[in-house]
Amino acid sequence: MLKLIKNANVFNPDPLGLCHILLAGEKIVYIGSDLPDLDSRLGVEILDVTGESVIPGLIDAHAHITGGGGETGPASRVPPVFLSEFTLAGVTSVVGVLGTDDLTRNTQTLVTQAYGLREEGLSAWCHTGGYHLPLTTLTGSTRGDIVFIDPIIGVGELAVSDHRSSQPTLDEFLRVASDAYVAGLMTGKAGIVHCHMGDGERGLTLLRAALDKSEIPARVFNPTHVNRNLPLFCEAKDLTRRGCYIDLTAFPEGHSEPGISAADAFLEYRAGGFPADRLTISSDGGGCLPAFDAEGRLTRFGVGLSGTLPDTLKELVHQNITLDEALPPLTSNVANLLKLKHKGRLKVGMDADLVVLDAETKVRDVMARGLWHVRDGTAVVLGTYESN
């Protein structure tokens, strides 16, 4: 069925003004100020949004789709994330990662979960490996996983400067990055190393050494959680001027200390004049958010939520940041980094992934791959094992 969205205040994420959007199947086939003349026999489904903002579907580039956790034993493992937990947050594309537990949860289960989310209507990918070396792979090699397994687009989240990491040496780190980069060249995939950054005093030393001592392009080295403490964030900002993308985590309320929230980090980054196209924001959805004492004992933990992404967007708008400035770290910048050519923008030929925001910048309606998943703030499509 054709779908027509009328009178939309469209953000590409650039502002396009008041437009009409025609969708056919899973693609955008028209955006313009003139209302298309469509034969009534085509059975067009029409939604008049009366000037509400329509934005690209959000891309969550760091989510524990199989569930994270496990730091205090099997009972502390977070359950897998249901479909509607993403769609209610305006997320139409997601990248799954493994964290501390890359043993009882592995690349096989991650790939399977990505395929499951695809069957339920989301666009889903994942990385191979997890916190530790040697990486947990499906084919036996990093290059093999990226080249031969469709959903796998890079390596991650490989732990650096963290007491839970395998303490990789520079040579080990460069070997992983080389394999990811070459596999990306062979396939057109992202080919990045998505690095979990801990609170260790070494900070980004390993990544700077990799940039200094190798020919691997800077975009391959992609640190996340960089706003978890202020010294790390200061280091990370400087790294963008060398060509790296850095990823902020939209921590739930009460979990950003001793760092800063994603919204505050965005504002500080913007005020410093750092490259606007090198910043992304992800949720760590489904991941455990632990805090440890000096002896490595767990003192508290929470769970990441994809809903922190639209919360961050809303906070930025309330801080007088325009939508076209606030959206790229959640949409087009992510698509550029991950080489998702049909995601992150509203243009003819792009995938029909979009979000309608109400006057309060809250997610009202969500379309993923041409199908409405959320209407008037209610999930109308649920995952296989979800219930109303």
Measuring CA to CA, how many Å separate 33 from each of 8, 9, 30?
Answer: 10, 10, 10
Q: What is residue 363's three-state secondary structure? A: strand
Q: Alpha-carbon distance 339 to 223, whole Å?
A: 17
User: For residues 291 and 298, is the Cβ–Cβ distance under 8 A?
Assistant: yes
Q: Quote the tokens at residue 384.
A: 């296989």
Q: Which of 130, 139, 137 is nearest to 168 (CA)?
A: 130
Q: Alpha-carbon distance 345 to 31, whole Å?
A: 12
Q: Alpha-carbon distance 24 to 284, whole Å?
A: 33
Reading phi first (left if > 0) and then psi (alpha if -120 to 50, else beta), residue 42 is in alpha
Contacts (Cβ under 8 Å, ≥6 apart) of 31: 10, 16, 19, 20, 21, 22, 346, 347, 348
User: For residues 212 and 180, is the Cβ–Cβ distance under 8 A?
Assistant: no
Q: Alpha-carbon distance 165 to 198, whole Å?
A: 9
Is 284 labeled as catalytic in the residue annotation? yes
Please tell me which residue in 284, 311, 351, 353 is annotated as part of the active site.
Answer: 284
Q: Quote the tokens at residue 274.
A: 């750092």
- Phi and psi dihedrals of 178, rounded to 5? -60, -45
Contacts (Cβ under 8 Å, ≥6 apart) of 335: 59, 341, 343, 344, 345
CA torsion 340-343-347-348 (nearest 10°) is: 80
- As annotated, the active-site residues are 284
